[in-house]
């Protein structure tokens, strides 16, 4: 992810989430390396950013903070393929555990995470706003 990708990322973010991240949040992720790993997903035929993934690595743990695919490219297995690739890469680097938070109402994301072997570990009450909702904390041992 680079600053030049931000207009595309913000477009995807704004159509994907009711409480989207701000541009400065993404800028912070770009410049918070080596902890933050922000990536874009590019559709090569059009050289177009169609998605992104941001995760943090702290010692042997990974926290997936944000992932989204442009609505025109959803339901094609892109997020699953990207997560498989990332999980394989971090497993090879010695990561032992991966966590993330997801809205209980986000059935598509929960289904994907479950398919990838994530389990619900707990609930964070009052985590999301607009609309208010708890977060399911999901995790996967690598």
pLDDT (tens digit, 9 = 90+) per residue, 46-96?
889 999 999 998 888 999 999 999 999 999 999 999 999 999 888 877 888
What are the structural domains of the chain? 3-141 (3.40.630.30)
- pLDDT for 32 equals 84
Q: How many CA atoms lie within 13 A of 52 on its CB side?
A: 28
The SS3 call for residue 57 is strand
Instruction: Average the pLDDT over 112-126 and give the result.
Output: 96
Distance (Å, whole) CA 20 – CA 130: 10
Q: What integer pLDDT is reported at residue 106 of this predicted model?
A: 93
Order the strands of the 61-69 sheet from edge to edge.
36-43, 48-58, 61-69, 97-102, 133-141, 119-128
The phi, psi pair for 114, rounded to 5°, reads: -65, -40
CB 68 within 8 A of CB 40: no
Confidence (pTM)? 0.89
- The mean pLDDT of 101-128, rounded to a whole number, is 95
Determine the average pLDDT of the residues in 127-132. Answer: 90
- Given a cut of 80, is residue 33 above it in pLDDT? no
Residue pointed to by tokens 């770009």: 30
């Amino acid at each position: 992810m680079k600053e030049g990708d931000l207009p595309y990322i913000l477009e995807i973010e704004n159509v994907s989430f009711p409480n989207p991240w701000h541009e400065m949040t993404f800028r912070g992720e770009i410049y918070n390396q080596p902890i933050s790993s922000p990536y874009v997903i590019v559709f090569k035929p059009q050289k177009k950013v169609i998605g992104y993934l941001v995760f943090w690595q702290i010692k042997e743990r990974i926290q997936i903070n944000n992932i989204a695919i442009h609505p025109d490219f959803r339901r094609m297995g892109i997020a699953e393929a990207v997560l498989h690739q990332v999980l394989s890469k971090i497993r090879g680097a010695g990561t032992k555990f991966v966590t993330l938070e997801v809205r209980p109402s986000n059935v598509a994301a929960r289904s994907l995470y479950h398919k990838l072997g994530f389990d619900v570990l707990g609930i964070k009450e009052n985590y999301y706003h607009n609309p208010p909702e708890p977060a399911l904390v999901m995790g996967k041992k690598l």
